[in-house]
């Protein structure tokens, strides 16, 4: 859509200015260059810049709430924010920002890219380095992505699950427990750090006291690989979310948000 609007604006501009020049050169009147025909190039010189401005990266998405047609059916990857800066463009007093990402694609390939989007001032502080967002990308180009606006949480979750399995943070069996298991709360009874590190995440061995829906409790052990910023969320005495299967209560999966506070 973006390119179609720009091509149409350019075509109108060329035709409008071309007609004005042709009329002036072929007219026998001394006023061949002055008259109603002057309106066409004036309109063209107004419309063309507006068309390019309002079809800039992130502008159409801000109006529609959807990804651009180019990226709407793109692959879903995980983008880790590495930097954010304003571009100087504003829409309804909300700034457009350029977000630099390190993207992990659906096939596990990692590449650097960026996205531009309009971000409300109230949400600007949430875009800090380390935050993970689902992004849409094209398999034949990696220089630009778009933050996924589809609202399809299942696609983002599948991308996250695949990435965690590749890195050894979890297993298909644990993901199945998280998907089908009973949601419950647990208290961290003890915590130990074996010293194993994967992709900057430390392994933590936890002993949990899980509360069943009927109020009774049971004890279980589990391991979790966490970034340094999330370790405080599983300190002894903290209440955490878990999932488990009633037929196998010793397999407990810890549930923590992807983006934790620094």
177, HSE (Cβ side, Cα atoms, 13 Å): 20
Exposure string of 65-78, with b = 16+ CB inside 10 Å and e = fewer, is eebbeebeebbbbb
Average predicted confidence (pLDDT) for the chain = 84
pLDDT band at 51 (very low <50, low <70, confident <90, very high): low
Q: Which of 4-8, 129-133, 180-184 has the lowest mean pLDDT?
A: 4-8
CA–CA dist 250, 51 (Å, integer)? 61
Q: Is the pLDDT of residue 94 over 90?
A: no
Per-residue confidence (pLDDT) for residue 262, from 0 to 100: 38
Poorest-pLDDT segment among 149-153, 154-158, 177-181, 256-260:
256-260
Q: Which residue has the higher pLDDT, 45 or 253?
A: 253
Whether the per-residue pLDDT at 56 is higher than 60: the answer is no
Q: Is the pLDDT of residue 28 over 80?
A: no
Confidence of residue 261 (pLDDT cuts 50, 70, 90): very low
The reported pLDDT for the residue numbered 72 is 86
Instruction: Tell me, letter by letter, the H, E, C secondary structure of the chain.
Output: CHHHHHHHHHHHHHHHHHHHHHHHHHCCCCCCCCCHHHHHHHHHHHHHHHHHHHCCCCHHHHHHCCCCCCCCCCEEEEEEEEEEEEEEEEECCEEEEEEEEEEECCCCCEEEEEEEEECCHHHHHHCCCCCEEEEEEECCEEEEEEECCCCCHHHHHHHHHHHHHHCCCCCHHHHHHHHHCEEEEEEEEEEECCCCEECCEEEEEEEEEEECCCCCEEEEEEEEEECHHHHHHHCCCCEEEEEEECCEEEEEEEECCCCCCC
Distance CA 150, CA 159 (A): 14
Residue percentage of the chain with pLDDT more than 70: 86
Is 234 a residue whose pLDDT tops 60?
Answer: yes
**What mean pLDDT comes out for the span 134-150?**
91
Please provide residue 243's backbone torsions phi and psi, each rounded to the nearest 5 degrees: -130, 145
Residue 64 confidence class, pLDDT cut points 50, 70, 90: low
């Amino acid at each position: 859509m973006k390119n179609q609007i720009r091509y149409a604006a350019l075509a109108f501009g060329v035709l409008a200015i071309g007609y004005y020049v042709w009329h002036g050169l072929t007219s026998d009147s001394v006023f061949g260059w002055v008259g109603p025909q002057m309106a066409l190039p004036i309109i063209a010189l107004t419309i063309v810049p507006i068309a390019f401005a309002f079809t800039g990266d992130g502008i159409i998405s801000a109006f529609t709430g959807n990804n651009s047609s180019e990226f709407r059916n793109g692959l879903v990857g995980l983008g880790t924010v590495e930097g954010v800066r304003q571009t100087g463009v504003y829409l309804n007093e909300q700034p457009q920002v350029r977000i630099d990402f390190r993207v992990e694609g659906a096939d596990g390939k990692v590449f650097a890219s960026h996205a531009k989007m309009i971000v409300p001032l109230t949400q600007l502080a949430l875009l800090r380095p380390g935050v993970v967002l689902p992004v849409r990308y094209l398999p034949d180009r990696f220089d630009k992505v778009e933050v996924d606006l589809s609202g399809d949480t299942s696609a983002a979750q599948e991308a996250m699950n695949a990435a965690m399995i590749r890195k050894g943070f979890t297993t298909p069996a644990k993901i199945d427990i998280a998907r089908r298991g009973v949601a419950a709360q647990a208290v961290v009874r003890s915590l130990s750090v074996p010293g194993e590190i994967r992709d900057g995440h430390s392994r933590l061995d936890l002993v949990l006291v899980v509360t069943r829906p009927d109020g009774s409790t049971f004890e279980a052990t589990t391991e979790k690989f966490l970034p340094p910023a999330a370790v405080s969320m599983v300190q002894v005495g903290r209440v955490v979310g878990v999932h488990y299967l009633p037929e196998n209560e010793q397999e407990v999966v810890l549930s923590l948000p992807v983006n934790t506070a620094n």
